[in-house]
Structure 1
């Protein structure tokens, strides 16, 4: 993979602490705005990135690049993923893939027409601990209740209350607790359960954006609650309850450092199958292989999952009356 990174924010800096452990990924370029130039120059120096661009079209015209990692703010995902696909580049796009399913369907059709790989960077789907948890689910018997809580008080919330609208609380920029934090919980649940039969989102909405909310997903015989908040905090944990036992994941559903399983009448067992300390390693290892082998079948499977997630997002936003973009 000869990669161009679009963005120079926190997620990119975090990504760069890991990617050198996958030497097959060549850091061909980084692209950002002119105001990002000094940051990109520092990142180039410390991470051996070949080229810097401040113009996306110029970057996408570079024949050395075969893949673009879109790590820009939420509302820019669709625009720049589309540009990259039109330029003939494979695309890895940060979560949330797009702001709605209409945008995602368009990108999907474009990728298929161009015979290009298009995947969403969503860590939990690729983590060994998540795969191990999926395999353990039948041991819990009939699943009854799933609860995921990813709540973090945002240091930007005080500014928001004072009237300063930053991207994470801006509906025009795809902000809000659902898209920032609960999206991880949605991916976690959809990867286990598939599409729900009903979706309801009970959100605390201020100035058109959800600062916190409770998402309820209804499955035959199983009830799911996904909680996310940026205006308050709590222990970040997820619990899966079946009639024969339970599984508890301490910490965010995008990290899954480990989990514990307790069957009825037995001692709790701690499980940790991770193969790397960084949550992004396994997904990018998979993406590199997918692109190297041009595995369109795998890309299609991942897209089906992402489409199911985006349909849930659409339903949640409609249910709560929130309009993004």
Structure 2
């Protein structure tokens, strides 16, 4: 996989050393804004990236690029991913895939028409602890209650209150707690249980953006609440309760660092089946295999999961 990275933000700083160590991934290009070009050039020098540019067309024209990783602010995902697909490039897009379900479906249609791979970068679906939870769900009996809380006071919230609006708090740019922190909770729940029957979002709104909120998902036989907050904080954990026991995820749903399995009448079992690698390592190993080995069935399953999450997001926004 010959990869071009779009962006020079925090997530790019975090993922570059990870990508450098994965067999089969060649770092071919990095895109920045003109203002950040110097940083892109420094990253290119450090990680041996052959092209650093603020000209997207030149990267799309580069024959040494076959896959685009969209690591840009939320509102740019659709346009940049679409242009990459139209240029014949595979696309890996950061969460949330797009701002609307219609945008997502448009990207899928283009990818299918051109037989290109289209994947969403969402860490928890590829972690060992996610697989452990999914495998052990039957031990819990009939699921009754699911609660996820990813509440983390944002370093940008104080500036936001002063009127300095960063993209993470800009409703026009897909900002807000739902698409930032709560999206990991949604991916976890949908990955384990599929699409809910009903969705309703109760949000604390400031300046037109949800700074925190509770997403209610009704699965008929059990109820789920996903809490995401950027304006306050609490213990970050998630619990799945059944009539025969419970599973508690200790820590954020994007890393799932530890899992506690507690069955009725038995002692608790604390486990960690995540690899020792960085949280983004396993997903990019999977993407490399899917694209290089032309694993269309695995791509289809991943897209079906992403579609269900986008349907939840769409319903949540419409319920405000």
What stretches of structure 2 of length at least 5 have no aligned partner?
Answer: none
Q: Is the 8 A contact 2:204 2:213 kept in 1?
A: yes
CA distance, structure 1, for counterparts of residue 257 and residue 272 of structure 2: 7
CA distance, structure 1, for counterparts of residue 207 and residue 145 of structure 2: 33
CA distance, structure 1, for counterparts of residue 168 and residue 40 of structure 2: 23
1:166 is matched with which residue? Answer: 166
> Does residue 61 of structure 1 match 2:61?
yes
Map Cα deviations across residues 38-85 of structure 1 (whole Å, 9 max, x no partner). Answer: 111221122111111211111101111110000000000000000100
> Does residue 187 of structure 1 match 2:207?
no
2:303 is matched with which residue? Answer: 303
> Does residue 75 of structure 1 match 2:75?
yes
1:7 is matched with which residue? Answer: 7
2:155 is matched with which residue? Answer: 155
**Residue correspondence of structure 1 range 1-325 to structure 2 within 5 A:** 1-320=1-320
Map Cα deviations across residues 220-279 of structure 1 (whole Å, 9 max, x no partner). Answer: 211100000001000110001010001111111010122010100111101111123311
- Which is worse superposed, 231-240 or 266-275? 266-275
CA distance, structure 2, for counterparts of residue 148 and residue 83 of structure 1: 35
CA distance, structure 2, for counterparts of residue 265 and residue 110 of structure 1: 53
What stretches of structure 1 of length at least 5 have no aligned partner?
Answer: 321-325
Give the 3-state SS of the residue equivalent to 1:18 in structure 2.
Answer: helix
Give the deviation of 1:160 after TM superposition: 1.0
Give the deviation of 1:17 after TM superposition: 2.5
Give the 3-state SS of the residue equivalent to 1:97 in structure 2.
Answer: coil
TM-score when normalising by structure 1? 0.97
Map Cα deviations across residues 64-114 of structure 1 (whole Å, 9 max, x no partner). Answer: 111000000000000000010000000000000000100000000000001
Give the 3-state SS of the residue equivalent to 2:129 in structure 1.
Answer: helix
Give the 3-state SS of the residue equivalent to 2:265 in structure 1.
Answer: coil
CA distance, structure 2, for counterparts of residue 84 and residue 276 of structure 1: 33
CA distance, structure 2, for counterparts of residue 58 and residue 44 of structure 1: 16
1:323 is matched with which residue? Answer: none
CA distance, structure 2, for counterparts of residue 47 and residue 259 of structure 1: 35
CA distance, structure 2, for counterparts of residue 66 and residue 272 of structure 1: 35
CA distance, structure 1, for counterparts of residue 155 and residue 250 of structure 2: 23
TM-score when normalising by structure 2? 0.99
Q: How many residues align?
A: 320
Q: Aligned Cα RMSD in Å?
A: 0.8
Give the deviation of 1:18 after TM superposition: 1.3
Give the deviation of 1:129 after TM superposition: 1.1
